């Protein structure tokens, strides 16, 4: 006789630093509450743990949009950093939170954002799909604006 296993749904929302932007990590796990064991002669049958994990890639398959979302979060964090400390960080790694599920210092193609800063200005750039900086497909965020969302 088949036992029905309740679903345990874990939703971890990582706030993208304001303005309602949310980066999501969603994990759905189907697991038995207790590992039921049925004996049939000498055979032991045990329900197994089955898990399906939705990641940033499965929630948003387009790497261009994922990169723009990450760039948006980095820009918001930079603006908040400036508001708190009145200066710019030396490196984007200073903006990471301990519970970040997503590497916000790189784009969806796993290439580091290029971060340049001036006295009170900054530019964060993704090389885009072609992997070459300063080409027309780059995604750019500055202190004043961000590229249009693809």
pLDDT of the residue at 109: 95
Domains and CATH numbers, the chain: 7-59 (no CATH), 63-142 (3.30.700.10)
Give the separation between CA 29 and CA 42, rounded to whole angstroms: 30
Beta bridge partners of 52: 28
pLDDT of the residue at 101: 85
Q: How many CB atoms lie within 10 A of CB 65?
A: 13
pLDDT of the residue at 145: 94
Give the separation between CA 36 and CA 25, rounded to whole angstroms: 30
pLDDT of the residue at 72: 96
- Predicted structure pTM score: 0.64
CB 88 within 8 A of CB 81: yes
**Per-residue pLDDT for the chain (150 aa), expressed as one digit of tens each?**
444 333 333 333 333 333 333 333 333 334 444 444 555 555 555 556 666 778 888 888 999 999 999 999 999 999 999 999 999 999 999 999 988 888 999 999 999 999 999 988 999 999 999 999 999 999 999 999 999 988
pLDDT of the residue at 64: 95
């Amino acid at each position: 006789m088949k036992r029905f296993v309740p679903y345990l749904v874990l939703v971890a929302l990582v706030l993208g630093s304001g303005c309602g932007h949310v980066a999501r990590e969603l994990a759905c796990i189907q697991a038995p509450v207790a590992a039921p064991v049925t004996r049939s002669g000498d055979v032991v049958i045990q329900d197994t743990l089955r898990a399906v994990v939705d990641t940033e890639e499965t929630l948003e398959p387009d790497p261009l949009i994922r990169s723009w979302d990450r760039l948006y979060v980095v820009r918001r964090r930079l603006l908040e950093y400036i508001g708190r400390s009145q200066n710019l960080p030396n490196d984007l790694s200073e903006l990471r939170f301990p519970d970040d599920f997503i590497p916000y210092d790189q784009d969806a193609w796993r290439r580091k954002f290029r971060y340049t800063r001036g006295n009170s200005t900054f530019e964060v750039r993704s090389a885009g799909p072609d992997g070459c900086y300063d080409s027309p497909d780059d995604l750019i965020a500055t202190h004043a604006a961000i590229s249009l969302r693809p």
